[in-house]
């Protein structure tokens, strides 16, 4: 058996694979290829793909292929910048829960009427994610095959991205509770109930839009979120991996030190990608819960508050364990300057980094005769936010005060992620 070599992977890498199943053999025969499936790497140990179960994330540690199965890892030849990788990830995550279309997939090869709907298949998901970042890997991102991705002149092969899997690795993963599978099941239960109310709902994000326009369905969806188990998957993960949350438990855990090293280093070395995702959702649902005082949005705000809390705890314990092993770990969240917007210190730092922006904001506050207004337009009410994620330059003033409208505009810029300034 073989598996991915995580140390060689980067966010945005495209993984092309196949299996020995009859359906995969059929795809390979029709497309004259050695592969039949496409996935995109979105963070440490995590990919997103489209299968008959729909669009979901998967743990790469559970992905094993038989020796005769082809596995290729491709990367943009010129490399992805932070803006591009962020757009690709955000697009793929926005598709979570979307249904699979075998018919649409077949049209990529067989032709016929081509008016793409919102349903997904594997190579469409990957190609559209790249297209959202202005990167057209194929002639038609709506209709393409894994082989066409493989043939793209814009991609190169990543050397050393696949390695042999030991029997111990396979056995270890078989004995670990599959949290991503539980999340997949909960998401599909949630969306099945959502589509019973509104057949046009495809992804989890569509539920938010439905409630904005149909708030009278709040009680139905609040109950659905709770019954599906979507809100409590984190609890099952914490119970099964309790040693991730307590230093002494990690020290005492009957887990090889090599596995502990790998877990801690992967968690602390992911450029806070997982934390960014939770914080951005927390900020979004905090705003929704304020604008639309619905029980569903309150539950989701509390969910992401909890996910931020336990993710920070996991990072803290991982850093402590590595330090106990003689490794110096810098636990600062980032090198960015986290100053309260519109304070003298904030203006002083901003003037040194971007004098024009500082002058514009000063003029806006003077005209409004208040420092509690939006840094961009002078409106209120406002909240304080900070830029999060990889790629923030050292010393940049990454905090700002935004009204709801400006937050919506900035949040819609996929290259940028905003979290509430706690």
Q: What is the pLDDT of residues 268-320, one digit of tens each?
A: 876 667 777 888 788 888 878 888 999 999 999 999 999 989 998 998 999 99
Task: Give the residue from 270, 273, 277, 271 showing the smallest Cα distance to 307.
Answer: 277
Task: Please give the model's pTM, rounded to 2 decimal places.
Answer: 0.79
Whether residue 19 contacts residue 49, with contact meaning beta carbons closer than 8 Å, is answered with: no
Reply yes or no on whether the pLDDT at 397 is more than 80: no
Strand partners, 401: 384
Q: Token match 């609040």: residue?
A: 222
Q: Give the whole-number percent of the chain exceeding pLDDT 70.
A: 92
Reduced to 3 states, what is the DSSP secondary structure of residue 239? helix
Which residue, chain included where needed, has tokens 């806006």? 364
- pLDDT at residue 225 tops 90: yes
User: φ, ψ for residue 95 (rounded to 5)?
Assistant: -90, -5
Q: Which residue, among 48, 90, 91, has the nearest Cα to 187 in the 3D structure?
A: 48
Calpha distance 12→158 (Å, rounded):
12
Does residue 415 carry a pLDDT above 60? no
Q: What is the DSSP letter of 120?
A: B
Please report the pLDDT score of residue 17 as a whole number: 95
Handedness of CA 342, 345, 349, 355 (dihedral sign): positive
Q: How many residues does the chain have?
A: 422
79, β-bridge pairs? none
Residue 115, pLDDT > 60, answer yes
Task: Give the pair of three-digit tokens for residue 126.
Answer: 């990957």
The stretch 51-70 carries a mean pLDDT of 91
Who has greater pLDDT, 332 or 87? 87
Q: What's the rounded Cα separation, in Å, for the pair 77 and 209? A: 37
Strand partners for 17: 37, 71
Determine the distance from the C-alpha atom of residue 117 to the mean position of all C-alpha atoms in its chain, rounded to a whole number: 23
Please state, in angstroms and rounded to a whole number, the distance separating the CA atoms of residues 27 and 200: 29
How much is the pLDDT for 318? 92
Token representation of residue 133: 């970042």
Q: How many helices (H) and strands (E) does the chain have?
A: 17, 11
């Amino acid at each position: 058996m073989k598996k991915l070599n995580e140390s060689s992977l980067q966010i945005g890498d495209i993984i092309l694979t196949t299996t020995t199943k009859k359906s995969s053999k059929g795809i390979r025969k029709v497309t004259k290829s050695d592969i039949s499936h496409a996935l995109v790497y979105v963070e440490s140990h995590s990919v997103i793909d489209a299968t008959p179960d729909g669009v979901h994330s998967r743990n790469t540690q559970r992905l094993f292929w038989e020796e005769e199965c082809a596995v290729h890892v491709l990367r943009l030849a010129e490399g992805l910048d932070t803006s591009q990788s962020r757009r690709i990830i955000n697009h793929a995550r926005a598709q979570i829960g979307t249904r699979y279309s075998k018919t649409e997939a077949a049209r990529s090869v067989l032709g016929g009427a081509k008016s793409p709907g919102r349903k997904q298949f594997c190579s469409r998901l990957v190609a559209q994610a790249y297209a959202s970042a202005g990167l057209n890997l194929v002639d038609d991102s709506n209709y393409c095959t894994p082989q066409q991705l493989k043939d793209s002149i814009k991609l190169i092969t990543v050397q050393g991205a696949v390695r042999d899997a030991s029997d111990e690795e396979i056995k270890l993963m078989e004995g670990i509770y599959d949290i991503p599978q539980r999340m997949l099941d909960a998401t599909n239960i949630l969306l099945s109930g959502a589509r019973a109310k509104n057949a046009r709902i495809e992804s989890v994000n569509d539920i938010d839009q439905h409630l904005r326009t149909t708030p009278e369905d709040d009680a139905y969806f609040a109950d659905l979120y709770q019954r599906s188990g979507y809100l409590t998957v984190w609890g099952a993960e914490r119970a099964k991996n309790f040693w991730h949350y307590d230093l002494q438990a990690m020290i005492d855990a009957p887990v090889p030190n090599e596995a502990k090293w790998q877990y801690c280093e992967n968690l602390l070395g992911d450029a806070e990608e997982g934390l960014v995702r939770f914080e951005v959702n927390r900020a979004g649902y905090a705003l929704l819960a304020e604008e639309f005082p619905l029980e569903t949005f309150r539950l989701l705000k509390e969910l992401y508050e909890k996910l931020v809390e336990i993710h920070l705890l996991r990072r803290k314990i991982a850093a402590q364990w590595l330090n106990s092993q003689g490794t110096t770990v810098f636990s600062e969240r980032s090198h960015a300057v986290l100053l309260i917007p519109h304070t003298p210190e904030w203006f002083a730092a901003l003037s040194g980094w971007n004098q024009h922006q500082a002058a514009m904001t000063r003029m806006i506050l003077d005209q409004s005769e208040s420092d509690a207004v939006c840094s961009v337009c002078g409106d209120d009410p406002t909240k304080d936010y900070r830029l999060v994620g990889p790629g923030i330059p050292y010393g940049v003033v990454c905090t700002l005060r935004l009204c709801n409208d400006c937050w919506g505009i900035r949040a819609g810029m996929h290259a940028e992620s905003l979290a509430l300034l706690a």
